């Protein structure tokens, strides 16, 4: 065998070895899933994350022709459930539906049981949305103007509710930008906070619009403002924070799909493509927009880059708000 031939043989063997090494991942992506899939929702049933999962996941199960279980593992602003996925095999059979708190928890929790970037594979956002400031009509707050006036006239008297670390930090940012002396009341989920709001026990709270839309339409609660740069199509009569008199609180929010770290790129792309197909279904799209939200579908690499940027941005907000990890 000539030197050239030997080199060609070695190169060919190397390429074959690489392709052979990749083949199982490619096959898995094409055949996925061949057994039951578990989707962890790291929040209690009945909240916004659970609602999103139950809107999207059953349609994925239909496409896959496999059983997909939604496993609610609430606690610690999504950290407990996220840990389960972080420690799972990167084969696509254990997935996570998580909120923007994924990029906030490093600044509120001193010791996380996982690395926010290394131990997860970003697949794609499911739903893109905002955070809403919700008022309690029973407490007398059905407009932003009424709450701002009362809170400024009575420093330290009022509170704002939050349901996890995204809404907590948005609330702290609102406190900073408005100059109000208000304290945070943390709830273990949106459902108990909305009960307190409906009863007039707290004046306002922060949550996702999709969580509160039914209450808003019924009149038991009132969305006072949203944290987007422009008004939401589903809520054309609700002002942005800037329009309502508090500038500098423009922060989006998302509910996204993740896998364990080091999930094969082909499998990650397959999952993202299936999500995009579900989001494009007319019935699913209509339901998403009816919840004052927009469909996700961002490519995995672009979503990973966004997470890096958000980690920096939330770190700055936490610093401004004086938030120390606990």
pLDDT band at 75 (very low <50, low <70, confident <90, very high): confident
Q: Do both 137 and 100 map to the same domain?
A: no
Instruction: Say if 27 falls within a structural domain.
Output: no
pLDDT band at 189 (very low <50, low <70, confident <90, very high): confident
Q: pLDDT for 280-312, tens place per residue?
A: 999 999 999 999 999 999 999 999 999 999 999
Which percentage of the chain shows pLDDT scores above 70? 91
Helix or strand (DSSP H, E) at 206: strand 204-207
More confident residue, 69 or 190: 69
pLDDT band at 15 (very low <50, low <70, confident <90, very high): very low
Q: pLDDT for 311-322, tens place per residue?
A: 999 999 999 888
Q: Do both 121 and 144 map to the same domain?
A: no
Q: Do both 151 and 76 map to the same domain?
A: no
Q: Which residues does 56 contact at the CB level (< 8 Å), separation at least 6?
A: 97, 126, 275, 278, 279, 284
Which of 324, 55, 12, 45 has its CA nearest to residue 172?
Answer: 324
pLDDT at 13: 42
H helices present in the chain, as ranges: 3-31, 48-64, 79-86, 144-153, 165-178, 190-198, 209-218, 265-279, 282-290, 300-320
SS3 state of residue 164? coil
What's the token pair of residue 15? Answer: 């390429």
Model confidence, pTM = 0.86
> φ, ψ for residue 9 (rounded to 5)?
-65, -45
Could you tell me if 158 and 203 are in contact, meaning their C-beta atoms sit under 8 angstroms apart?
A: yes
**Cis, bond preceding 185 (omega within 30 deg of 0):** no
Q: Do both 125 and 138 map to the same domain?
A: no
Q: pLDDT for 151-180, tens place per residue?
A: 999 999 999 999 889 999 999 999 999 999
Q: pLDDT for 29-63, tens place per residue?
A: 889 999 999 999 999 888 889 999 999 999 999 99
pLDDT at 326: 87
Instruction: Say if 7 falls within a structural domain.
Output: no
Instruction: Say if 3 falls within a structural domain.
Output: no
Q: Strands 159-162, 222-226: parallel, antiparallel or unpaired by DSSP?
A: unpaired
Q: Read off the CATH number of the domain in which 209 is found.
A: 3.40.190.10
Instruction: Say if 238 falls within a structural domain.
Output: no
Tell me the residue range of the domain where 178 lies. Answer: 132-226
Q: Do both 136 and 218 map to the same domain?
A: yes
Q: How far is CA 204 from CA 14, 158, 174, 233, 321, in A?
A: 63, 9, 12, 23, 19
SS3 state of residue 235? coil
Instruction: Say if 151 falls within a structural domain.
Output: yes
Question: Domain count of the chain?
Answer: 2
pLDDT at 12: 42
């Amino acid at each position: 065998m000539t030197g050239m031939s030997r080199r060609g043989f070695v190169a060919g063997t190397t390429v074959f070895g690489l392709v052979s090494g990749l083949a199982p991942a490619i096959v898995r992506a094409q055949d996925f899933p061949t057994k039951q899939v578990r989707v962890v929702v790291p929040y209690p049933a009945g909240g916004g994350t659970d609602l999103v999962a139950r809107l999207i996941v059953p349609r994925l199960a239909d496409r896959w022709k496999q059983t997909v279980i939604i496993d609610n593992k609430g606690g610690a602003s999504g950290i407990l459930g996220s840990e389960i996925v972080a420690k799972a095999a990167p084969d696509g059979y254990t997935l996570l539906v998580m909120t923007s708190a994924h990029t906030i928890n490093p600044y509120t929790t001193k010791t996380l049981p996982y690395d926010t970037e290394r131990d997860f594979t970003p697949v794609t956002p499911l739903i893109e949305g905002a955070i809403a400031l919700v008022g309690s009509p029973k407490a007398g707050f059905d407009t932003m103007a009424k709450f701002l006036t009362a809170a400024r006239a009575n420093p330290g008297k009022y509170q704002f509710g939050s349901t996890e670390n995204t809404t907590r930090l948005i609330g702290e940012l609102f406190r900073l930008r408005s100059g109000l002396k208000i304290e945070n009341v943390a709830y273990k989920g949106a459902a108990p906070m909305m009960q307190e709001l409906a009863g007039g026990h707290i004046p306002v709270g922060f949550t996702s619009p999709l969580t509160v839309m039914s209450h808003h339409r019924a009149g038991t609660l009132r969305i006072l403002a949203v944290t987007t740069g422009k008004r939401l199509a589903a809520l054309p009569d609700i002002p942005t924070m800037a329009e309502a008199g508090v500038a500098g609180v423009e922060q989006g929010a998302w509910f996204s799909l993740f896998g364990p770290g080091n999930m094969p790129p082909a499998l990650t792309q397959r999952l993202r493509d299936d999500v995009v197909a579900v989001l494009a279904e007319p019935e699913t799209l209509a339901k998403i927009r009816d919840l004052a939200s927009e469909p996700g579908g961002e490519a995995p690499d672009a979503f990973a880059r966004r997470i890096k940027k958000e980690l920096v941005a939330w770190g700055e907000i936490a610093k401004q708000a004086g938030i120390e990890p606990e």
